[in-house]
Amino acid sequence: MPVIEAGFKQYDGMPDRKQLLLYGPTLRVSVGPYKMPEQPHELRVASTLALIDTGAGASMIDNELAVNLGLIPVDKCIIAGAAGPTEHLVYMAAISIPELGISQFGKFTGGNLRLGGILQNVLLGRDFLANTIMIYDGVKAQITIISADQYVPKRESV
């Protein structure tokens, strides 16, 4: 089973506790369209950072990134958070974690993550965690992610 680290490293290669506290468990993902475009040159994929958010039920993509990638809006939803309910676009997309061999296809809620001061362009929620094992060692500032499966079934609804 593929294993990766989702923490931060200092220049000397040691775990960076400060960065982990500030930004949370972070790994690199690829975000792209749900369907391959007919013309290969039209394919737009971004390699970007994702925050592993155990408090989020479902994964989320930054709205600006979604627009830049030309992701197709296919619904809207209401998110009730600490600031009250807000309406969000829902895009169809694919999120891949190449190092784990995981690809997640389906509907992803858009959010103003970067505008809200979050470092990452993607939140990976418990739908992602449902297919992984995460070991959070806060003392050593080491986050280990193990993929339980090579493939995540397509999510059919938000």
Partner 1 sequence: MFSSLDADIASFTADKKNLLRKYLDKFVIFYHGKLQGAYDSFDAAADAAVTKFGSGPYLIRQVISEEQTSIKPNSFVFRTA
Site for partner 1 in 12-41 (CB under 8 A): 34-35
- Where would I find the beta strands (DSSP E) of the chain? 3-5, 26-33, 46-52, 60-62, 72-81, 84-97, 102-111, 122-124, 132-137, 142-147
Q: Is 75 in the site for partner 1 (CB under 8 A)?
A: yes
Residue closer to partner 1 (CB basis): 53 or 62: 53
Q: How far is the CB of 9 from partner 1 (least distance, A)?
A: 28
Distance CA 86, CA 39 (A): 36
Residue closer to partner 1 (CB basis): 60 or 97: 60
Q: How far is the CB of 106 from partner 1 (least distance, A)?
A: 7
Residues sharing a CB contact under 8 Å with residue 41, sequence separation 6 or more, in sequence order: none
Structure tokens of 103? 């690809």
Residues that bind partner 1 (CB under 8 A): 34-35, 53, 55-58, 60, 70, 72-82, 87, 89, 92, 105-107, 109, 125-126, 154-158
